[in-house]
């Protein structure tokens, strides 16, 4: 599928297998979310723009390059929270903007409950962070919000996607690349990804 990047990195595949395991406790689950997020963000940021520069080393001048654009990490609450810290360590200059969305359990439509974006955009590249892309409603809503805000470039970094959600996201936001660790079989009647990993929010926060 165009603009969908599913990682085949052995570390990602190994960690994803542990993540899915029903026996994985919340502490290890959080660590795995953080580690997989870092690996996927590394792949998702491979095309960031650079400015050439030079630095003085102890022995002379060295050619170098520095990131040109300001990056915004945009976790979708709650489950996206666990993807922030690891990525932020790799790019400490990033800004973090939270968007609160929950899925209505009957309609499966996203409901917004938190958004404190300032009036004008302050970053050039936004990484939407949410481990699960199920119907795609939450990812679509987050990209809608960021586009209305004026974000120039948006990428979605998730962990597991259902084909239904990928198709929906592709049809509404074909310009937003999707970086994930797995494309699963289908959605259940209740809108859960099968086989998936259960509820990513509950498993991180021990609330299941």
Candidates 23-31, 46-54, 99-107, 174-182: pick the segment binding ligand PRP (CB under 6 A): 99-107
d(CA 134, CA 186): 9
Q: Where does the chain show beta strands of DSSP type E?
A: 4-6, 50-57, 60-67, 71-77, 95-96, 99-103, 110-115, 125-129, 132-133, 153-157, 160-161, 178-180, 182-183, 186-187, 193-194
Binding to ligand PRP (CB under 6 A): which residues in 104-133?
A: 108, 110, 130-133
Told to judge if 202 belongs to the known catalytic residues of this protein, a careful annotator would answer yes
Please give the Cα distance from 60 to 46 (Å, whole number): 28
Within a 13 Å sphere around the CA of 37, how many CA atoms are in the beta-carbon half? 29
* Least distance between ligand PRP and beta carbon 81 (Å): 8
Copy the structure tokens of residue 174: 């074909």
CA nearest neighbour of 158 among 71, 69, 33, 45: 33
What part of residues 54-83 is at the interface with ligand PRP (CB under 6 A)?
76-79
Residue nearest to ligand PRP (CB): 201
Given 17, 53, 107, 207, the catalytic residue: 107
The answer to the question of residue 196 lying near ligand PRP (CB under 6 A) is: no
Q: Is 191 in the site for ligand PRP (CB under 6 A)?
A: yes
Nearest CB to ligand PRP, comparing residues 7 and 135: 135
**Phi and psi for 187 in degrees, rounded to 5?**
-100, 140
Binding residues among 164-183 for ligand PRP as defined by CB under 6 A: 165
Q: Nearest distance from residue 24's CB to ligand PRP, in Å?
A: 17
Tokens of 53: 């520069």
Smallest gap from Cβ 62 to ligand PRP, in A, equals: 43
Catalytic: 107? yes
* Residues sharing a CB contact under 8 Å with residue 66, sequence separation 6 or more, in sequence order: 50, 51, 53
The answer to whether 149 and 141 have CB atoms below 8 angstroms apart is no
- 192 is an interface residue for ligand PRP by CB under 6 A: no
Closest CA to 74 of 134, 4, 139, 26: 139
Closer to ligand PRP by CB, 3 or 124: give it. Answer: 3
103 included as an active-site residue = yes
Among 135, 145, 157, 179, binds ligand PRP (CB under 6 A): 135
Query: Whose Cβ is closer to ligand PRP: residue 68's or residue 109's?
Result: 109
Q: Which residues bind ligand PRP (CB under 6 A)?
A: 76-79, 101-103, 108, 110, 130-139, 165, 191, 199-201
């Amino acid at each position: 599928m165009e603009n969908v990047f599913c990682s085949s990195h052995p570390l990602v595949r190994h960690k994803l297998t542990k993540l899915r395991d029903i026996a994985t406790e919340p502490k290890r689950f959080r660590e795995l979310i953080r580690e997989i997020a870092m690996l996927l963000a590394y792949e998702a940021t491979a095309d960031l723009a650079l400015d050439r520069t030079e630095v003085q080393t102890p022995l002379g001048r060295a050619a170098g390059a520095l990131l040109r654009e300001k990056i915004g990490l945009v976790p979708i609450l709650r489950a996206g929270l666990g993807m922030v810290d690891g990525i932020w360590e790799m790019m400490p200059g990033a800004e973090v903007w939270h968007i609160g969305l929950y899925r209505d359990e009957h309609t499966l439509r996203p409901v917004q409950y938190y958004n404190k974006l300032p009036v004008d955009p302050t970053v050039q590249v936004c990484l939407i962070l949410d481990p699960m892309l199920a119907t795609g409603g939450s990812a679509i809503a987050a990209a809608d919000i960021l586009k209305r805000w004026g974000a120039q470039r948006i990428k979605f970094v998730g962990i597991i996607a259902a084909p239904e959600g990928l198709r929906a996201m592709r049809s509404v936001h074909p310009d937003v690349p999707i970086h994930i660790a797995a494309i699963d079989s289908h959605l259940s009647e209740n809108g859960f990804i099968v086989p998936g990993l259960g509820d990513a929010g509950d498993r991180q926060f021990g609330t299941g």
